[in-house]
A = this chain, B = another copy of it.
């Protein structure tokens, strides 16, 4: 069984390497946020991340969590998901992939890119270039 109150974390060294590879200064708080975020493939809200960082005994503010997540997002370390209007989720998996979203439970599940073939992509509107494609398959508990 797992130690109570101790969640699985990504090793500091791995997080530091990830950040530095993207030119992000690896400060105390950023690394701690990263340890939570990059622990495993998952979908966490800012609040959940704050909670877990505090639970690991670290000291971080809400402002820093948001600053950090926005920075990570800009630098491609995390993918920001807007599924409903309520809040955003942060997805440590940045390689192309898609999502199931259970509208009843709020659960998000990854769909590997190769499990969903997108044939015949339409050309982007004049003067624009593709940036990323999000497919969300909404499902409901039956």
**What residues make up the interface of A, taking CB atoms closer than 8 Å to B?**
80, 82-85, 87-88, 100, 102-103, 109, 111, 115-122, 124-125, 127-142
Contacts and interface: CB of A to CB of B under 8 A. Distances in A.
Contacts of A103: 131
Interface of A is mostly: strand
A121 B125 contact: no
Copies of this chain: 2
B116 A142 contact: no
Contact of A138 (B85, B111, B133): B133
A137 B119 CA distance: 14
Contacts of A127: 141-142
A119 B135 CA distance: 13
Contact of A137 (B102, B111, B124): B124
